Structure 1
């Protein structure tokens, strides 16, 4: 089975480890003094070493003993790609062909939760939507990275529900940042798996289900902008550093495009899956639910 590295919270402390069928190997308990978190481990170039160590150990805890965090909680940058599948482009019904370059926007780490942690529907809007996506984790930094070299800068792959507040992406003339950054409105995880080669990502099937109903399905072979192109383009204007995460775009089928639109509500469950990456699962709760009045 493909190695699965994750970040977690247990007994009030942040840690990282290796997920195995029998539970979680706590690598941070053994090596946290050398590499405080997975970003530090990525930066040090020791991911393969940590996997080798973890595979030789028995689990220290069950998944039920931890709260999943996003795989790289301390990432310097999380950059998201908009409109990266042909059918998604067609949803806009503006008669325009796919653009020559990707649309991009930032997300803050605080806007994401980990696997099995509920998404938050905020008090400001009921229009919480889902977007299943694949995440690139940068392993080697760089600027002006050539497309031919781009994949050598990738250390891992993960999954994202790039949750969006649809009315808030229309609060300004052209700015979507507000609707993409409500606290806890999206998720990344459950882990990241090591990137190996082109074959691993050439034709990944990506799906999203809501309450067991298939809503999104497409393949990376149909992406408008390849992983190579995305990395090259972003590195033209900003320096990518180890631990940065790039969220690469969602297929058609989000709730906003249903007739009538169907928004996520408390009690719903969203499952994002992709070939070789597992399944990211999140419920939904209202902001402030469970707090004392």
Structure 2
């Protein structure tokens, strides 16, 4: 099953994709359905209403305010090698994103006035369906409800101002998420073996296979839940492969007027224009 969160005519809702149509499921959110437990998604999908008119339809992040957004750094060998850190970590470098940074499919990723170093990072997202603490690797996939796509767009000069990356990863309007949430049963176990490709203005800038994650989805669920309780709707952003802009010579950063697309086999395409942050949003 494939679900889309949307806004239309000032109303927010959820839809399920059937072929080329999005069938309306009403105002209940994906987060609410995940919290209701196994079977809730299938039950609501079977009661879908009429197809939505695409005119005026805006895509929202599949979950607009996840309980937690847990990001992972240096999770592909080739990306670790191109980074300032060089070595593959022996423990996943977790860092948080905040919901205030999220934007949906076809919405603008904002380049803030403070920096010109807006970088792209195409990533696989795992969404927790059943929460828990100290989840074993053997049981980890039972806790993952499905998958989506993320652009962990980063403000590089701010990211490297300190040993912690959080500031450079949380500017408003820089975390693109969506467009669809795809249930785990539609994909290989752990979403392994899927082609991930990032394109900037049509040019391929990242190309990898999710089989090459240093820490698999099961590993990430295990390590994260060792520390804190995972909850239904938590989002794990699993890391980006090589090819990011700051590692290129010369560097390649996103700018106003660009379009960034991230495609993951079996999940879809996340597309976002890049715009400079409006001056009106900057307080005097």
Offset at residue 228 of structure 1 (A): 0.3
Does structure 1 residue 74 correspond to structure 2 residue 72?
A: no
Does structure 1 residue 50 correspond to structure 2 residue 44?
A: yes
- 1:239 maps to 229
- 1:83 maps to 74
Change in CA separation of 1:111 and 1:88 when aligned onto 2, cut-off 3 Å: same
Change in CA separation of 1:94 and 1:278 when aligned onto 2, cut-off 3 Å: closer
- 2:182 maps to 193
Offset at residue 50 of structure 1 (A): 2.1
2:6–2:14 contact (8 Å) kept in structure 1:
yes
Does structure 1 residue 261 correspond to structure 2 residue 251?
A: yes
* Secondary structure of the corresponding residue to residue 65 of structure 1: coil
Offset at residue 61 of structure 1 (A): 2.1
1:88–1:250 contact (8 Å) kept in structure 2:
yes
Q: Counterparts of 1:141 and 1:213 in 2: how far apart (Å)?
A: 39
Q: Counterparts of 1:285 and 1:153 in 2: how far apart (Å)?
A: 37
- Structure 1: which 5+ runs fail to align? none
Q: Counterparts of 1:212 and 1:155 in 2: how far apart (Å)?
A: 31
Q: TM-score when scaled to structure 1?
A: 0.91
Residues 51-107 of structure 1: CA distance to partner in whole angstroms, max 9, x if unpaired?
Answer: 2333xx441321x421111101121100001011110111136563x2221001000
Structure 2 counterparts to residues 73-222 of structure 1, below 5 A: 73-92=64-83, 96=87, 98-172=88-162, 174-196=163-185, 198-199=188-189, 201-222=191-212
- 1:5 maps to 3
* Secondary structure of the corresponding residue to residue 279 of structure 1: strand
Does structure 1 residue 277 correspond to structure 2 residue 246?
A: no
Q: TM-score when scaled to structure 2?
A: 0.93
CA RMSD of aligned residues (A): 1.9
Does structure 1 residue 224 correspond to structure 2 residue 222?
A: no
- 1:17 maps to 15
Q: Counterparts of 1:258 and 1:177 in 2: how far apart (Å)?
A: 22
Change in CA separation of 1:200 and 1:247 when aligned onto 2, cut-off 3 Å: closer
Offset at residue 18 of structure 1 (A): 1.4
* Secondary structure of the corresponding residue to residue 196 of structure 2: strand
Does structure 1 residue 251 correspond to structure 2 residue 245?
A: no
1:25–1:61 contact (8 Å) kept in structure 2:
no
Offset at residue 200 of structure 1 (A): 6.4
* Secondary structure of the corresponding residue to residue 53 of structure 1: coil
